[in-house]
A and B are shown apart, each in its own frame.
Chain A
Amino acid sequence: MSARRIFARPARFAAIAPYLWMVLFFLVPFGFVLKISLSQTAIAQPPYTPVFDFTDGPAALAAAFAQLSFDNFRLLLQDNLYILSYLRSLVVAVTSTLILLVIGYPIAYGMARLPQRWQGVAMMLVIVPFWTSFLIRIYAWINILQHDGLLNKILLALHIVSSPVVWLSTDSAMYLGIVYSYLPFMILPLYATLSKMDASLLEAAGDLGASPRQAFWLVTFPLSLPGVGAGALLCFIPIVGEFVIPDLLAGSNSLMIGQALWLEFFTNKDWPVASAAAVALLLLLVPPLVLYDRLQRRQLGSNR
């Protein structure tokens, strides 16, 4: 009997405590979201009494299912606000991801080409802002972008503009904030695939007469596609539900779904509709999450 097999047994017991923790504080809460999303909106005050009680047996359960209300979801479909905020979330996430790819790729590519010694330093430099507070980095941009902020001062001093430009509360400010915050998430997976690439492939391409540009588009880029996919999904998924950045930097006239949920919850105090919005947002994210999982698996598989 191999030592490996003996080791597996106690190691399984190690997983019990974190397993129970995740079931209790990650899985079960989604049950509550689902339940409340199917509760009557009419009950205005939290906590919402359960629509059904599991202890009453199957008959009561059947009766309870008949009582379940899909009104909240119907409301989501009927209310323009929600449909528009879903569409806006998708548009913002797709646009930001594309911008991130265009900006992040050359940076990751440059990193992968640094001498080995400097690659670690460059990676550290990219990771550090990722560790530095999200909120503080967004706040730093507010300092720069506000009406009499640094950016307008510089533009005025250089006579590029004649009066201060409104930067804050615009879509451009929001995109800037998102790109700024998520850039490390894009660079790191790209750098991971680019740095692992076999340089001799490029030399072979060169020997066979490809110009560096041709070699890039015919060899490097296709080989880096798994990194492109991982980086794009790693950014896309959280951006769809983003709350803080659009709330602080974008104008108030159009909401993303994360903000709509927040508003419904904290301002309108309509928990059932907020829960329904959360369920819908989750459904929206299932395909990219599955895709991301597949990509990760394939990459793990190819590493072994």
Chain B
Amino acid sequence: MAGNATRLTRFNMTSLVLGLAFLYLPIVILVIYSFNASRLVTVWGGWSLRWYHEFFNDRAMLEAAWMSLSVAAVSATLATLLGTLAAVGLARGERFRGRALFSGMLYSPLVMPEVISGLSLLLLFVALNAERGFWTVTIAHTTLTMCFVTVVVQSRLTALDRSLEEAAMDLGCDPVRAFLLVTLPLIVPAIVAGWMLAFILSLDDVVIASFTTGPGSATLPIRIYSEVRLGVKPEINAICTLVIALIAVIIVIASFASKLSSARGESAAPL
């Protein structure tokens, strides 16, 4: 197998190592500087948890963090529910009227610029006379993130061996029970990974949240964004590090979920 042409060369290795260093170095530096005791972000004044204390005493930031976490939790749950149903419809429904439109609608938000999605949803909410705040942001995030859930769950569903469901039906299960008893347990890891992805995407979004939220209900990214525009503050380093830590925990759980599912004999999740 390992002929001359397929060997890992020094060039391959160097580009790989440099590429990964490029991806990780800025984040590592940010985390280190969040423990800086100095008020000046650029001068190292020794290790300290000062900026974490500052954050936990900053009412506005805490409220924003709470808003972000609750929006992320609710929208991820809704998105997982809708996205899984959509994936089942697409992977198992075969042909139905408007299928092309449906899958088109589900794939466009993955690449659509956020300014367009944000603007269009805001115009809808204004037309509906909906009060902007928690629910409008949650609906906006659900719409965006359910598409990602659909992609993750659908790829797992298509990789799944269909004869399992067919066997269940041959043994007397109706299609719905065959799905609930056989298929659903097999795709749970993909659903978990989808929820995590939706949660993280919601936690990250500035643009759509800016369009769809009302005065006085800013999410954490909106607050961070407006602070960053004014200049770098050490407290922001601490907040960002906390967010990174939260995301790291989620990634560990999600990758565990996807390992669990690949151990059951399916191909690895795309995300």
* Chain A residues close to B by CB (< 8 Å): 2-4, 6-12, 14-19, 21-23, 25-30, 32-33, 36, 46-47, 103-104, 106-107, 109-111, 113-115, 120, 122, 124-129, 131-137, 139-144, 146, 148-150, 153, 180, 183-184, 187, 199, 202-203, 205-206, 212, 215, 233-234, 237-238, 240-244, 247-248, 258, 261-262, 265-266, 271, 274-275, 278, 281-282, 285, 289, 292-293, 296
Contact: A14 with B93, CB < 8 Å?
A: yes
Using A36-B123, A199-B1, A248-B228 as known contacts, list a sample of 15 further A-B pairs with CB atoms less than 8 Å apart, ordered by residue number in A. A3-B170, A7-B92, A12-B94, A15-B89, A19-B86, A29-B120, A46-B126, A110-B15, A129-B23, A133-B244, A183-B19, A234-B111, A238-B112, A241-B114, A241-B115
Interface of A: prevailing SS: helix
Q: Answer yes or no: B45 CB below 8 A from chain A CBs.
A: no
B residues within 8 A CB of A132?
27, 244, 247
A residues within 8 A CB of B29?
140, 143-144, 150
A15-B90, A25-B143 known; A32 vs B98 contact (CB < 8 Å):
no
Q: Answer yes or no: B60 CB below 8 A from chain A CBs.
A: no
**Nearest opposing residue in chain A for B259, CB measure:** A120
**Nearest opposing residue in chain A for B258, CB measure:** A124
Contact: B243 with A18, CB < 8 Å?
A: no
Contact: B27 with A47, CB < 8 Å?
A: no
A residues within 8 A CB of B88?
11, 14-15
A8-B92, A262-B115, A275-B119 known; A140 vs B240 contact (CB < 8 Å):
yes
Contact: B107 with A131, CB < 8 Å?
A: no
Q: Answer yes or no: B47 CB below 8 A from chain A CBs.
A: no
Q: Please, how many angstroms separate the alpha-carbon atoms of A22 and B106 in the complex?
A: 8
Q: Please, how many angstroms separate the alpha-carbon atoms of A248 and B207 in the complex?
A: 13
Q: Answer yes or no: B268 CB below 8 A from chain A CBs.
A: yes
Contact: A212 with B105, CB < 8 Å?
A: no
Q: Please, how many angstroms separate the alpha-carbon atoms of A293 and B179 in the complex?
A: 30
Q: Please, how many angstroms separate the alpha-carbon atoms of A203 and B86 in the complex?
A: 44
Q: Answer yes or no: B48 CB below 8 A from chain A CBs.
A: no
Q: Please, how many angstroms separate the alpha-carbon atoms of A109 and B3 in the complex?
A: 16
The interface size bin for chain B is 35 or more
Closest Cβ–Cβ distance, residue B25 to chain A (whole Å): 8
Q: Please, how many angstroms separate the alpha-carbon atoms of A16 and B86 in the complex?
A: 8
Contact: B111 with A11, CB < 8 Å?
A: no
Q: Answer yes or no: B160 CB below 8 A from chain A CBs.
A: no
Q: Answer yes or no: B6 CB below 8 A from chain A CBs.
A: yes
Contact: A32 with B124, CB < 8 Å?
A: yes
Task: List 14 A–B pairs whose Cβ atoms lie within 8 Å, in order of A's numbering.
Answer: A11-B94, A29-B121, A32-B120, A107-B16, A110-B13, A110-B19, A125-B23, A137-B27, A143-B29, A180-B22, A199-B3, A202-B3, A278-B116, A281-B115
Contact: B247 with A244, CB < 8 Å?
A: no
Contact: A243 with B207, CB < 8 Å?
A: yes
Q: Which 8 A-B pairs have the closest CB atoms?
A: A241-B113, A15-B89, A29-B120, A110-B16, A106-B15, A11-B92, A107-B19, A18-B86
Contact: B165 with A3, CB < 8 Å?
A: yes
Q: Answer yes or no: B131 CB below 8 A from chain A CBs.
A: no
Q: Answer yes or no: B5 CB below 8 A from chain A CBs.
A: yes
Contact: B4 with A285, CB < 8 Å?
A: no
Contact: A47 with B225, CB < 8 Å?
A: no
Closest Cβ–Cβ distance, residue B170 to chain A (whole Å): 7
Q: Please, how many angstroms separate the alpha-carbon atoms of A12 and B90 in the complex?
A: 8
Contact: B27 with A139, CB < 8 Å?
A: no
Contact: B27 with A140, CB < 8 Å?
A: yes
Contact: B123 with A275, CB < 8 Å?
A: yes
A residues within 8 A CB of B13?
110
A residues within 8 A CB of B169?
3, 6-7
